[in-house]
C-alpha cells in the first residue's frame, strides 16, 4: 500500500476534529444572549447581545440578512471611544453609539461592508459611549432617530 494513502484517514480525522472545534467555538460565542431595545416611538427590536471581546469582534460578520426588527447590541465594560469596522460584513448597517443611560451620542448611517482585499476603515464616535447598537441600514432614517434620543435597553440589568 502506498504510504500517502495510509495517511489520508488520519488527515481526514484531524481535519474533522479541527473543524468541529472551530464550529463549537463559533457557536459558543453566539450563545443566544438576547435583549430588547425600545426606540422613542415605542417600536421594539430584538437584539443579540455581544458582551465579550470575542462576540464584539465577530459582530455581524458573514451574516446574509438582517430584518427591520433585529439588531445587535455591543456592550462594553467602560465608557470610551469604541471604534467599529465592517470587516467580513455582508450587509450595510446603521451604527448607533449610546451613552451609559441609553442616549444616542453618535450615529453612522448606512455603513457599507468593506470590499474584499482592501483596507477596512474604522468608524469612531465623537463622544464616549458604553453601548453600540447595530441595525439594518435605513433604520435611523425610517424611525427618525437623532442624537439625544433615549433608547430603552430591556434585559440588560445584569450587564450594566
Strand partners, 94: 135
Whichever domain contains 117, its CATH number is: 2.60.120.1140
Helix, strand, coil shares, percent, the chain, to 5: 25, 35, 40
Same domain for 18 and 55, yes or no, is no
DSSP code for 75: E
**CA–CA distance, 84 with 74 (Å, rounded to integer):** 10
Neighbours of 32 (CB within 10 A): 7
Start-end of H helices in 30-137:
53-58
Summarised one tens digit per residue, pLDDT across range 12-50 is 655 566 555 455 444 444 455 889 999 999 999 999 999
Residue 81 has pLDDT above 80, yes or no: yes
Taking a C-beta distance cutoff of 8 angstroms, is the pair 67, 136 a contact?
yes
Q: Which structural domain, as residue segments, surrounds residue 110?
A: 32-154
pLDDT, mean of residues 116-131:
91
159 within a domain of the structure (yes/no): no
The total of structural domains in the chain comes to 2
pTM above the 0.85 mark?
A: no
Q: How far is CA 27 from CA 5, 47, 76, 149, in A?
A: 33, 17, 21, 34
160 within a domain of the structure (yes/no): no
Same domain for 58 and 137, yes or no, is yes
More confident residue, 102 or 16: 102
User: Mean pLDDT, the chain, as a whole number?
Assistant: 84
Summarised one tens digit per residue, pLDDT across range 54-63 is 999 888 889 9
Same domain for 6 and 55, yes or no, is no
Same domain for 4 and 63, yes or no, is no
Same domain for 62 and 7, yes or no, is no
Same domain for 21 and 70, yes or no, is no
Amino acid at each position: 500500500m502506498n504510504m500517502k494513502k495510509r495517511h489520508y484517514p488520519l488527515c481526514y480525522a484531524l481535519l474533522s476534529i479541527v473543524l468541529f472545534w472551530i464550529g463549537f467555538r463559533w457557536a459558543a460565542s453566539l450563545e443566544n444572549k438576547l435583549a430588547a431595545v425600545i426606540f422613542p416611538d415605542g417600536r421594539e427590536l430584538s437584539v443579540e447581545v455581544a458582551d465579550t471581546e470575542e462576540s464584539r469582534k465577530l459582530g455581524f460578520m458573514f451574516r446574509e440578512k438582517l430584518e427591520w426588527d433585529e439588531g445587535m447590541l455591543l456592550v462594553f465594560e467602560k465608557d470610551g471611544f469604541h471604534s467599529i469596522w465592517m470587516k467580513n460584513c455582508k450587509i450595510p448597517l446603521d451604527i448607533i453609539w449610546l451613552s451609559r443611560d441609553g442616549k444616542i451620542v453618535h450615529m453612522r448611517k448606512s455603513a457599507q461592508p468593506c470590499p474584499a482585499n482592501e483596507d477596512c476603515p474604522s468608524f469612531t464616535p465623537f463622544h464616549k459611549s458604553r453601548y453600540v447598537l447595530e441595525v439594518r441600514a435605513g433604520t435611523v432614517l425610517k424611525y427618525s432617530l437623532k442624537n439625544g434620543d433615549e433608547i430603552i435597553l430591556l434585559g440588560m440589568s445584569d450587564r450594566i
